[in-house]
Amino acid sequence: MDPPNDFEALTKAFSGFGVDEDSMVSILGKWHSEHLESFRKRTPKFFLEDERLFERWDDHHIACLTKEFLLFKDIVVQWIMHPWERDVRLVHEAITKGPQAYCGEIIEEFDKQYKVPLTQKIEDVALGNYKDFLVSLIRRVA
């Protein structure tokens, strides 16, 4: 594909939910400086022209892309970890950010996915004080 014809595909790779890294790397890897300049001029959604007629990123889009790339980095790092290490890190993050940040979503998703309330599942499989503690904790944050 001729690089100038990649403008639409590259714009699409930067748009929506997440960044399409495969498309982005494939397209940008074969571009030369004149293709980048042309892309900047032809994509006002991402670039603003200043008083000197220079194209610069729209700050909002920079913030969005930065967030998307951080999410991609986190996904890759979590993917290569041992499952136990990933789970420990996720638990640490949930505790650090506070139970309200994640617990409500987790409880709701568990109920939807397994068609049984999380508290009921814990009551069915956990024992003694451990069961009472977990059930009361879940009821408290739900």
Report whether pLDDT(9) > 80. no
Class of domain 3-67: mainly alpha
Name the pTM for this structure.
0.38
At residue 115 the predicted structure's pLDDT band, cuts being 50, 70 and 90, is very high
Stretch 89-109: mean pLDDT, rounded? 76
Comparison of pLDDT for 53 and 123, the residue scoring more: 123
Question: Cα(first)–Cα(last) distance of the chain, in Å?
Answer: 52
Q: How far apart are CA 40 and CA 121, in angstroms?
A: 54
Ramachandran bin of 34, using left for φ above 0, alpha for ψ from -120 to 50, beta for the remaining angles: alpha
pLDDT digits (tens, 9 = 90+) for 30-88: 777 777 777 777 776 777 777 776 777 777 777 777 777 777 777 777 777 888 888 88
Q: Where are the domains of the chain?
A: 3-67, 81-141
User: What is the reported pLDDT for 68?
Assistant: 73
DSSP count for the chain of H helices, then E strands: 8, 2
Stretch 12-28: mean pLDDT, rounded? 70
Q: How far apart are CA 46 and CA 60, in angstroms?
A: 9
Report whether pLDDT(1) > 70. no
